[in-house]
Amino acid sequence: MSFLSRLADRARPPAAAGPLLMPKGFVARQPAAVRREEDAAEEEEVASRAIRRQQPEAPEEGEEGVARAAAPEEPEEQSAGEVQELRRADAGTEAPEPEDEARPLRRAPVPATEPAETDEEMRAVRRAAAGGEGEDEAEVQPARFIRRAEEVPLDDTDRPLRQPFQSDLAPGATPPHPDLATEEEPSNLQALRRDAAPSLPAQAEANMPDRAAPGSGLAGPLPPSGAGFADRSDGRGAAYFEPQYGSAFEPRSAAAASAELTPVIIDQLDVLIHEPAPSSPAARAAPDHGRMLRARYLRRL
């Protein structure tokens, strides 16, 4: 795009110039309804919006990556950061290429339905679009829901005060636990695939080999427990993992892997965390790094 064309794009309405990059969790609210029942309007406004939190880990602030493309003839001030992959491939697979530019992060598909959540888990974002934004209406973002994992307790002091992308939401803003200091954070320059939702439609299984890129350390979405296995049984009455699901972990061919795989049946995996309740108010109020550590471990399962 020519320089003058880019200037012209700045002068046009943002919707006409292409998709916008918005802060994560940002929700453009509708104007507040003007009604006599002010309490109802406020409560409805607050309860109707929430933000889904996608990435709990925090990238290192030292590994800064700036995604820029439109500065011409410009050596970009970017440093190649290390890649932290959620699931690493074996040595036989292709190693990830070093990155010299920012890469986007892929998200998990939206889960089908979410159960009703308590008020402590809902994050209200209070934003109201101004009534006079005629040309900006097209840019209203869809509502997103935020869900706090139950392993991470929320105190009143931890709630975001105003915007969903405050320090407790944005990755990397919360001080890491000392026990997690040795863990490598995902670089801002590297795209990280997110863990897929646990439930997948049966039709998605046909696309699994295309999604898990070999050598990228990225595992394709796991099939739902039992849901697609009935059709794939080997006649011995036991379901087995599809070879393509194992390809992200083993360098062998799919045929060899399927012949050597021992049928494994996992229909449920329960993780029980039992811990005594804190005895004193001070202990309850103090940030529970032990739970944060367990929560982090659970997320990496």
Partner 1 sequence: MGGAATHPAGLGNPRLRDMTGATELAAAEAVAASRTRPEAVTAVLAALLESLDAEPATRETMRGLPSAAREWLLQWIASRTHPEMRWFEACCEQCGEPYDLSIDLSRPAYRDSNRAAATATVETSLGTRQFAIPTGEHEERLALLSGGDPRRDLAGLCGLSSDAEAEALRFDAHDLALIDEAVEAASPDIADSVSILCPCCKSETSGRIDPLKFAVPREGDILLEIHQIARAYGWPLQDILRLKARQRAVCADLILRERQAGRPAGRRP
CB of 169 to partner 1, least distance (A): 8
Any contact of residue 201 with partner 1 (CB under 8 A)?
no
Any contact of residue 128 with partner 1 (CB under 8 A)?
yes
Any contact of residue 11 with partner 1 (CB under 8 A)?
yes
Is residue 76 within 8 Å of residue 67, measured between CB atoms? no
Any contact of residue 48 with partner 1 (CB under 8 A)?
no
Which residues are CB-contacts of 130 (< 8 A; sequence separation ≥ 6)?
31
Q: Which segment (25-33, 231-239, 248-256, 262-270) binds partner 1 by CB under 8 A?
A: 25-33
How many angstroms separate the CA atoms of 148 and 49, rounded?
14
CA triplet 257, 263, 267: central angle to 5 degrees?
A: 125
Q: Which of residues 152-181 bind partner 1 (CB under 8 A)?
A: 156, 159, 161-163, 165-167, 170-173
Is residue 257 within 8 Å of residue 248, measured between CB atoms? no
Any contact of residue 20 with partner 1 (CB under 8 A)?
yes
Q: Which segment (121-129, 200-208, 254-262, 271-279) binds partner 1 by CB under 8 A?
A: 121-129
Q: Which is nearer to partner 1, 88 or 159 (CB)?
A: 159
How many angstroms separate the CA atoms of 184 and 63, rounded?
11
Any contact of residue 64 with partner 1 (CB under 8 A)?
yes
DSSP state of 156: G
Any contact of residue 285 with partner 1 (CB under 8 A)?
no
**What six digits make up the tokens of 174?**
């919360």
CB of 106 to partner 1, least distance (A): 4
